[in-house]
Amino acid sequence: QVQLVESGGGLVQAGGSLRLSCTASGRTFSASIMGWFRQAPGQERRFVATINRTGGRTIYADSVKGRFTISRDNAKNTVYLEMTNLKPEDTAVYYCAADVGSIVFSSTGTRYDSWGQGTQVTVSS
């Protein structure tokens, strides 16, 4: 497992942008599939995006495709989520997650074995 710490959340108006960061401890970051998930009040946690070990491949939920970009810097043990054209329905707690040692993409939260504490993103209309 790795320990993950998210940052970068906040309050933004609709149409605005935010960049979330998630920094991992330990030496397993570069061997991990990384993902972002979000959970809105009263809803289940949902997949947002995932990125492979090298950063060369990404997958997005349809709801964020074209607006969000996931990237990673293995030298800094950090994964990012760049969010643009934010909408009120993007309001949620955002979590990063690591699937250590995996080479298979997954949008299923149960595959990920390490989670951050979450960062709140609020988009006002």
CB neighbour list of residue 45: distance below 8 Å, 6 or more residues apart: 37, 38, 39, 95, 109
DSSP 40: -
Q: For residue range 3-45, what is the model confidence (pLDDT) as tens digits? A: 999 999 999 999 999 999 999 998 889 999 999 999 999 999 9
Report whether pLDDT(78) > 90. yes
Residue 70, pLDDT score = 98
How many angstroms separate the CA atoms of 78 and 44, rounded?
Answer: 26
Instruction: Give 46's contacts (C-beta < 8 A, 6+ positions apart).
Output: 37, 38, 39, 61
Q: In the chain, pLDDT over 70 holds for what percent of residues?
A: 100
Amino acid at 25: S
Q: Residue range 91-99: average pLDDT? A: 97
DSSP code for 101: T
The reported pLDDT for the residue numbered 25 is 93
